[in-house]
Structure 1
Amino acid sequence: MDNLNQYKLHEIIDAHSLQHIQDRFSKMTNLSTVTVDKLGNPVTAPSNFSKFCTLIRSSKVGYERCTNCDAEGGLKSMLLKKPIIYTCHAGLTDLCAPIVVNDIYLGCMLCGQVLLKENKDKSTVDLKKLSMELDLPIKELEYALNHIKTSKYNKLIDAADFLSLFSNLIAKMGIANISHAELLKETKEKMKFQQLAKDAQIKSIQSQINPHFLFNTLNTISGMALMENCDITADLIYALSDILRYSIKNSEDMVKISTEIDSIEKYLFIQSVRYSDKFSYDLKISEEVLNYKIPAMTLQPLIENAIIHGLEPKNGPGKITIHGNIASDKLAIIKIEDNGVGMTSDKLNMIINNINSSNKLESIGIKLVQDRLLYYFGSEFSIKINSIPYVGTTVYIKIPLTY
């Protein structure tokens, strides 16, 4: 974590768990224990505190001295990067284990409040001076001092080593929890951003559908209103109205393939009237495919491409074949085939890879379909294009069977 400095010790550790373990440690070693931050402020309640130290801390001056002493002990152990044993301001022996993660000092664990058995005469403690400076009754100090535990120096060394391992393990667990939480938050934010990007992308995709179909159709309707009977004109208007209603109503939805095919039939009807005898179509979708779902308006851009770039430049009439079948127990396949002018392999590769901006208009149908299928199906779909010059083009779409 690069931003570890911004955290305080109480924000990193689980104080409840630390308190429980600290209490057990104190009971096991018979040593008073407390965990403090880098300023000497306790982040846990004292465990097994001595009467003497409790009395000292009952004085305002005594509490400040204890806090400062704890901070100084932690600072010294941090600078030495190891546990230390020292004499506190009141004359008792304490030990301090620094909590250091990634070379950043966060606080320390303190324990002790003992007299060394090597100093049997208690000469390190000046009760008279403490009584005067802290305004505490000397008899109470004497009574409390008589209850202070004694410990061998070697035992404190062992306790210090154990405390050091223990305190840093807890800190590293806390850091790991924070890192996990930050990663989870980052991941959620990233996913949220990706979803917003996808939403924006799909709306952008929907807005890119080539408008020339709509304008040309309206022109066809206008011309036929003058030249043909009103029945055909009405049929064209109804078909166009249904297509527009379908695209607006279902623009962000998955629909049954049968619903998509109904719209495609209306689209093909309009185009067949527009181009008169220029092309015909064969639409055969297996009954077992019709109840599965597909993103709305997926097939129209491909059929439009077949008409505009395959059949329109062709000399003489052409044909579009649209077939759909179950490919396996997990996939359906829809084939859109035209016998138009086709394209060379170089041109096909440029369209597939979308690397030639001059061909962007020619490849937009494939790109729209690919983007829509990727949005809804992820990597569970595939698009394959075969094309032979002067023979025609075939597009295969495989999609997962989705209800």
Structure 2
Amino acid sequence: MSYHEKMMQNIKTKVAIIGAGPSGLLLGQLLAKKGIDNIIIERVSPDYVLGRIRAGILEQGLVDLLREADVSDRMDEEGHVHDGFAISYYGTSYRIDLNELTGGKTVMCYGQTEVTRDLMVARKENGASTYYSSTNVVLNDVDSASPSVTFEHEGESYLLDCDYIAGCDGFHGVSRKTIPEEKRTEFERVYPFGWLGLLSDTPPVSDELIYCKTDRGFALASQRSSTRSRYYIQVPLTDKVEDWSDDKFWDEFKKRLPADTARKLVTGPSIEKSIAPLRSFVCEPMQLGNLFLVGDAAHIVPPTGAKGLNLAASDVSILYRLLCKVYNDGEPSAVQGYSELALNRVWQAERFSWWMSNMLHDFKDDAGTANNLDQKTFERFMKSELDFFLTNKAGQEVIATQYVGLPYPQV
């Protein structure tokens, strides 16, 4: 044993979770409720994690999972159930009635930041260990029966011995990169535009979300609560946040809303503005030995279909139930089915998000590379397809079924 190894603090747990975003925290909470010890290692501070402005539409599956984890009280009190949403197609609005089209299913409007906050409070209350602001995180021997994690925290070096590692550390984290390149296949589509998002303490312009396809580009009227709005417009990747004053954003956003909706828009100072690039990405497989990739560590979806956090939640549900089979049912081989179970649902969500993005965005500068079609042909195909899906109940049912979320795999 080297001198450095002797100086390390040695700790042990059953499941090491890399990343204290909502997926890592939710997995930790669910495991703790079943008596499965876990430790979370996070590279940034709690305040930084809570400062991330992300999605706010929760599928029924995630709502149910949060209730199972006993972290749903505030969501149930403050969240808003949405029975439907609208697609404005060059100024003509079509309402997708989720409740009617799916036999009673809905979605919940409740911000990802609030989900994360609730999970942080629950973890603190149950006394589970989280090492925030950790550095030099390295995953060791993941393809063995004795994986471990080494990291540094508050000037101390740690060796964490564990049975399993859940990589919940996002697209840029260490987990996926731990899998050798020759053992993973990555699929990626980078879109030629981004979403400029503005958060403001203003009442939402609509009780439900409005997705807008216009000749000026895509826009989305979303919300976080009855007093806080989140709005987006499609912008070129060359744009910078500094190019967009609040007044310029509001002026452009109004032009992309249906006229009757634009007249009701309440504007105000932005709390936050940012530009998010759009990407479709999948890593296969989602596991190597006793390392399991969860959420953005394994896949990214464009936000058009509201699938990012929800897709991570389905990964959490699968891995949590498989680990329960290992520890509580004595089935150690159960976890080997994780990647196949997760990827089946991942690709369904990827396809839906890709389809929604194709339908609703302006590809004028990239139509040829979008689908190997010239711009005119691509736009005409998209118009014909959207005409069908919006004006036929069967088409609306397809949209609604996927928007509320496909069932979680049976484990």
TM-score range with shorter-chain normalisation? under 0.3
| Structure with bigger RCO (C-alpha 8 Å, 6+ apart) | 2
Larger radius of gyration: 1
TM-score, normalising length: structure 2: 0.21
The answer to which structure has the higher strand fraction is 2
TM-score, normalising length: structure 1: 0.21
The answer to which structure has the higher helix fraction is 1
